[in-house]
Amino acid sequence: MVHKAQEPSQPTTVTFYVLRTREVDMLDPASPQVKTISDIFNISLVIAALILALVTGLTVYNVVRFRSRSDDEEPKQTHGNVRLEIAWTLGPALIVAFLFILTLTGMTKAAPYEVPTLRESDVAAGTQSTLPSDVLLRGHQFWWEIRYPSANVVTANELHMPVGKRIRVQLESADVVHGVWFPQLAPQLEPVPGQITYMALESDRPGVYWGACSEFCGAEHVWMQLRGVVQTQADYDAWLRQQSQPAAPIPAPPASAATPPPSALLTPTAGDPGRGAQLFRQKTCISCHAINGTDAQGHAGPDLTHVASRSIIGAGVLDNTPTNMALWIANPQKVKPYNLMPNLLLSSQEVQDLASYMETLK
C-alpha cells in the first residue's frame, strides 16, 4: 500500500512538522490577522455561551417546573405581553449591534485581502496594471504554483516569507475556484479564475504552518495542501538566493553500466542520477516540468529545479523522502488518483534512476 510510507516506523517529515507546529489551531495564532480574529471570536464565543445558557436554562426550568401532573389540569392562558416582546426584540438587537461594531473594528486589521481586485481581461487589455507583489500564488488542480518575481524563483506548495514583514501576494487561479487557508497564519481568501486578488500576509513567529485549499476544487481537493514557512530575514534571504540558482549539472552516466542489475526494492540509492537526467528528457517529463539550468521548460506541472529542498510531494499526499519520491514516480495515479501526472509505466530501475536524479535537485 501507498500509505506504508506514512507509518511512524519510518521517521517522516510529517511527524517532524507536527512536532514543529504542535497543532493546527486557529486559537493559537501566528499572525496579527488571525490574532485579531481569534480575539473577536473569543468575545463572541462568550456571548454565545451566555445566550445558550439562558435558553437552555429557561427550557430546563420549563421542563422541570411545568411538567404536567394531572390530565385535566387547565393552565392559565396568556396570549402575550407586548412589553416582554419588545424586551426580547431589543435584547438581541443590542447584542447584534455590539457584534456588528466588533466586526467593523476587526475588519481592517484582519482583512486577508487588499483592494483592488482586478479582472485578468482588463490586465491583458492593458486598461489596468497589476500591483508590485512579493509573491505570485496560482492555484492549479491540485497544487500551488508559487513565484517570487523579484528573485526569479519558482517553487510549489511551499510559501516562504520573512517574519515580521507584511508581504503582498498576487492570487490567481489557473482553472477553478480554490481557497488559500493557513489556519494559524492567514484567514481564507479564494482565487477566482478570471480575476486577480491581492492577499496580505504577515507573521510574527517563525515556524512551518499547515495550510490547505479550502474551497472544494475537484477530485483531489484534499491533497491540495501547502505549507507556510516563516523565516528570519537572514534565513529567508539565504533561501531565496539558493532557490534562484539553476540546478547543479549532473555528470554523464557511467558508460559501462549498460544493463543495471534489476532490483526488487525501490531504493533510490541504487539509482544513478546521470541516467535519471537522461530519462527525464527521454520519458517526456520535460514536456510538463521545468528544471532551471537544463532544457526542461514545461509548465503544466510544478517546477522541479529545487524539488529535493521541499517538504511534501503531491501537495501533501506524501512527505518528500527518497523512498516516497520513488513511490510517486512509479505510479502517481496510485498515490493521488486524479492528479494530472500519468503513470509512465517505468521499470523499477528507471524509477530509481529518476528518483536519485530528483534527490540531487536540492
Partner 1 sequence: MSDIALLPETTEALPRAATYDGLLRWVSTVDHKQIGILYIATSLFFFVVGGVEAFVMRLQLATPRNTLINPDAYNQLFTMHGTTMVFLAVMPFLIGFANYFVPLMIGARDIAFPRLNALSYWTLVLGGLVLYFSFLAGGAPNVGWYAYAPLSDRPYASLPGVDYWCLGLFIMGIGSVAAAINLIVTVATLRAPGMTFRRLPLFVWMSFVNSFLILFAMPVLNAAVIMLLIDRQLGAHFFNPAGGGSPLLWQHAFWTFGHPEVYIMILPGFGIITEVISVFSRKVPFGYAFLAASTVAIALLSFATWAHHMFAVGLGPAWELTFSATTMLIAIPTGVKIFNWIATMWGGSLRFTTAMLYATSFLVQFTIGGITGVMFAMVPVDWQTTNSYFLVAHLHYVLNGGSFWTILAGFYYWFPKMTGRVLDERLGKINFWLNFIGFNMTFFIQHILGLMGMPRRVATYPPLPGWGEMNLFSTIGVFFTAAALFVLLWNIFITLRRGKPAGNNPWGGWSLEWATTSPPPPHNFKQVPPIHSTRPLWDLAHSGDQGSGAGGQGPETAGAG
Cβ 264 to partner 1, closest distance in Å? 24
- Residues 329-358 binding partner 1 (CB under 8 A) are 337-338
Q: What is the DSSP string of 225-277?
A: EEEEEEE-HHHHHHHHHHHHSPPPP-PPPPTT-SSPPP-SS--GGGS-HHHHH
Nearer to partner 1, 71 or 295 (CB): 71
List Cβ neighbours of 116 (8 Å cut-off, separation of 6 or more): 198
18 sits near partner 1 (criterion: CB under 8 A): yes
Figure out which of the listed residues 27, 46, 238, 248 binds partner 1, where binding follows CB under 8 A: 27
The SS3 call for residue 211 is strand
- Residues 228-257 binding partner 1 (CB under 8 A) are none
User: Which residue is associated with the grid cell 498576487?
Assistant: 170
Cβ 198 to partner 1, closest distance in Å? 8
Cβ 179 to partner 1, closest distance in Å? 6
Cβ 203 to partner 1, closest distance in Å? 15
Nearer to partner 1, 196 or 325 (CB): 196
- Residues 136-155 binding partner 1 (CB under 8 A) are 141
Cβ 83 to partner 1, closest distance in Å? 11
- Residues 192-211 binding partner 1 (CB under 8 A) are 192-195, 197, 210
Cβ 43 to partner 1, closest distance in Å? 10
11 sits near partner 1 (criterion: CB under 8 A): no
d(CA 136, CA 118): 14
- Residues 69-128 binding partner 1 (CB under 8 A) are 69, 71-81, 84-85, 88-89, 91-93, 96, 99-100, 102-104, 106-108, 110-113, 115, 117, 120-121
Cis, peptide link before residue 66, omega less than 30° from 0: no
The SS3 call for residue 153 is strand
Of 218, 233, 210, 113, the closest CA to residue 157 belongs to 210
List Cβ neighbours of 142 (8 Å cut-off, separation of 6 or more): 213, 217, 218, 219, 220, 221, 223, 224, 315, 336, 338, 339
154 alpha carbon, distance to own chain's centre: 16
Residues that bind partner 1 (rule: CB under 8 A) add up to a total of: 99
d(CA 323, CA 138): 28
225 sits near partner 1 (criterion: CB under 8 A): yes
265 sits near partner 1 (criterion: CB under 8 A): no
